Structure 1
């Protein structure tokens, strides 16, 4: 099943999620309201809500609780993006000015905090203690992942395992929770909930690796942010770490990427990463994670859910934005 077809299947459910986001991201304070509106109008793939809806509904009837879980997860994701843009000093997100660019760093940080709080407030309407425990633990790990990323800016001594642990916390965890909590609130059997959590983790690891590949290969007008942005900010992702391990160019790459590097050095560093063959190696790792995720779907009893999630894994490896 194609990605577009899956979106169409859940069009009404995603519209309800969008309505919840619009209602709950609203603020009485004018700057918070404008910043929240900026985020919502920037849109997004809503991939986390889609995972939650598929795993929570699938072949079952409508559940408002699943929609609330899906919206809360997306609000948490939105909050992390606002904070990331402050840390990265990013001016563009999804092709539009970031909150920090439009309203300043202080307003952006409080906007992110506000979205976190509103997500927790929305989730409190779901009467399931296990959901709250899992989400609370997830937010803690998410914050730890953010701190680790900041600590490792421009740190060439970090290895691939450090990178994988970081993206587990920053990205894979939230996608895993989307599948797990959606299924749990939707009434799936315990064995299936566990399988979907593991599926979401593997798919989430692949999703972030592909995202890091797009930072080198994507067109800025499609990806919505400057090409090579991570490397320019000192965020050393998998392609850069793999390229730095190449004896023939690693030393030059490490010398180029430093705080305050000029644009010409950043552009040379990007060319070195692309020329190193690291992109193909990183893509192979993403494909291995996706293969693992597909294998885990064997424990999912609902045929429609398996088929739809399989379609999402195909989108992850082929996506261009």
Structure 2
């Protein structure tokens, strides 16, 4: 499955969203427009706007209204990536140089701020105050999640519960509110909006776990960056946490992580990757991702049997099978 081709029915509207994304960052400082375009042109799965549009299918679907939430949610996600790359000192994203690498940290931070501002500017076209309240709270939670990740860099004593709370804030929440706000913007009833939120939350949790697995098990061609980027940056992901709970791999992996930390992430991570791959951490992470997908599909029981419901099931299954 490539480029989420299960969403062929949304192609026309997603083409419109893509054009609106580029249009939305125009009209500002020329360098900030250039850096923002550099990020947007690097591509991406555009999952969040897709979920907005699919949520809208359970209400009064109107692309001219839904675009005012679909575009901002993708912009918010993009802005968070620019800031992430500065924090993580990342040079590559989606196979291309990051804004931080091509320009510098200061330009990257201002680019993220500029994109956030443009996102909020576009949402002013929506009059429902609940939408703005949900969106602002999600942005606050995302920022808290980022701070938690920084505090836990190279923290080998963190447990699964702490990790799950962090990815809820960093990743899952924005996907959940994409589903929810699409329904609310289309005036769907509360039950449908709540079901969409639960679906998005569980898909988002599985999505991040799969990202963690790809960072350990994927290739540079698949993921657009060197495998092992997480552990190199000090981000102790779920497969690593589980591998550290494995008596066979705990001590040698602890030694490798300590060496990586001492070398500021510049050393060889191949031994650490091999240890993680050879542990129970991979299978345990896959099993947990599958449980979240099962919960996501269960949430769909509360939605009417329209074509979009099948598409949502398809995307749920896609999340844990994707290789990029």
State how many pairs are aligned. 321
**Could you say what secondary structure the match of 1:73 adopts?**
helix
Structure 1 length-normalised TM: 0.96
1:2 Cα shift? 9.3
Matches within 5 A, 1:193-232: 193-232=193-232
Q: Which runs of 5+ in 1 are unaligned?
A: none
Query: C-alpha distance in 1, partners of 2:190/2:2?
Result: 28
Partner of 1:308: 311
Query: In the alignment, what sits opposite 1:178?
Result: 178
Cα shift at 1:303: 1.9
Q: Identify the residue that residue 32 of structure 1 maps to in structure 2.
A: 32
Matched, 1:317 2:282: no
Aligned to 2:56: 56
- TM-score (norm: length of structure 2): 0.95
RMSD over aligned Cα, in angstroms?
1.6
1:66-81 to 2 correspondence within 5 Å?
A: 66-81=66-81
Alpha-carbon distance between aligned partners in 2 of 1:32 and 1:287, rounded to the nearest angstrom: 40
Distance 1:226 1:195 in 2: 37
SS for the counterpart of 2:62 is: coil
**Cα distance 1:162–1:61, how it changes in 2: closer, same or farther (>3 A)?**
closer
Q: Name the CA distance, whole Å, in 1 between partners of 2:255 and 2:314.
A: 42
Residue range with higher mean Cα deviation, 13-22 or 256-265: 256-265
Compare 255-264 and 181-190 and name the one that shifted more: 255-264
Alpha-carbon distance between aligned partners in 2 of 1:271 and 1:188, rounded to the nearest angstrom = 48
Compared with structure 1, are the counterparts of its residues 10 and 225 closer, same or farther at alpha carbon in structure 2 (3 Å cutoff)? same
Change (3 A) 1:235 1:320: same
1:276 equivalent in alignment to 2:279: yes
Q: Deviations over 1:168-227 (max 9, x none)?
A: 000100000000000111121111111110111011000000011000111111211110
Q: Is 4-13 or 304-313 further displaced after alignment? A: 4-13
Structure 1 pair 106/4, CA: closer, same or farther in 2 (3 Å)? closer
Written as runs of structure 1 = structure 2, the 5 A alignment for 1:1-321 is 4-57=4-57, 60-258=60-258, 259-261=261-263, 265-321=268-324
What is the rounded CA distance, in whole Å, between the counterparts of 1:9 and 1:272 in structure 2? 43
Q: Please report how far the alpha carbon of residue 5 of structure 1 lies from its aligned counterpart in structure 2 after TM superposition.
A: 4.1
For the structure 1 residues 270 and 217, does the alpha-carbon distance in structure 2 shift closer, same or farther, using more than 3 Å as the test?
same
Structure 2, unmatched stretches of 5+, are: none
